[in-house]
Amino acid sequence: MLPLNVMLALLAALTSLMCTVLLFRAFAANGVRLLLWSALCFVCLTVNNLLLFVDLAVFPDADLRVPRLAAALTGVLFLLYGFLREAE
Amino acid sequence: MEDAAFSDEFCRFLRAAVPTVDAAEVLLLLHREPERWWAAEEVLGALAPSVSLSGSAAAACLAVLLASGLIASGPDKRVQYRPGFGELDAHVRTLAQAYRERPVTLIRVIYALRDSKIQSFADAFRLKGK
């Protein structure tokens, strides 16, 4: 049985991955660019959560905080850029 | 003209290529005289006084139409109606028909599509279609 924090990280990664797939699917269907920026954001959030899982379960002695936060920041920047661009 | 003319494909075309009523006016003006090369000032002059457009708004409309492959740009910055492929021309003919026969509906649809980005975001998370 996995510890609770590892399970939560894994579930968060799977949820982010599902959001990524749904957003890319919607972008392919209707071409609204806001969906593309949102999907790219969720790609980064998926990486962020996978790194959290790796940090907790695979390399518990390593500190992956910097790459994790860098992935999350990149994702938020994608989303921010998308909102600003599409609001014009 | 029936509601069926506002198909999903036509609405996708409107959302991508004709985001504003002004863009529709400019596109239909160029479509009416497909052989003519227009300067931006001539477009403004031909639309006035029924459509009041600033120079920058007209330039923005022309940029959208150019990026959508509906018009071609000449060396002296004049533009001409020249859809990149037949499907685009068919959509423009549908647009012209809608403008003639159901202008109020067309304008409502263009405004509704413009405001639909957030709705698209919400709809993206629907696992099944509506």
- Tell me: the pLDDT tens digits for B91-128? 999 999 999 999 999 998 888 887 677 777 878 888 76
Q: How far is B36 from chain A (nearest CA, A)?
A: 31
Q: Is the pTM of this model over 0.80?
A: no
Nearest CA in chain A to B118: A34
CB < 8 Å to B121, chain A? 32, 34-35, 38
Q: How far apart are CA B128 and CA A76, in angstroms?
A: 28
Q: How far apart are CA B57 and CA B50, in angstroms?
A: 15
Amino acid (one-letter) located at B46: A
Asked if the Cβ–Cβ distance from B123 to A38 is below 8 Å, we say no
Asked if the Cβ–Cβ distance from B120 to A19 is below 8 Å, we say no
Q: Considering chain B, what percentage of its residues have pLDDT values greater than 70?
A: 94
- Complex ipTM: 0.73
Q: How far apart are CA A22 and CA A19, in angstroms?
A: 5
Asked if the Cβ–Cβ distance from A86 to B120 is below 8 Å, we say no
Of B12, B116, B124, the CB nearest to A23: B124
Question: Mind listing the pLDDT tens digit for each residue in B31-77?
Answer: 999 999 998 888 888 888 777 778 888 888 888 899 889 999 987 88
Residue A54 makes CB contacts below 8 A (sequence gap 6+) with A64
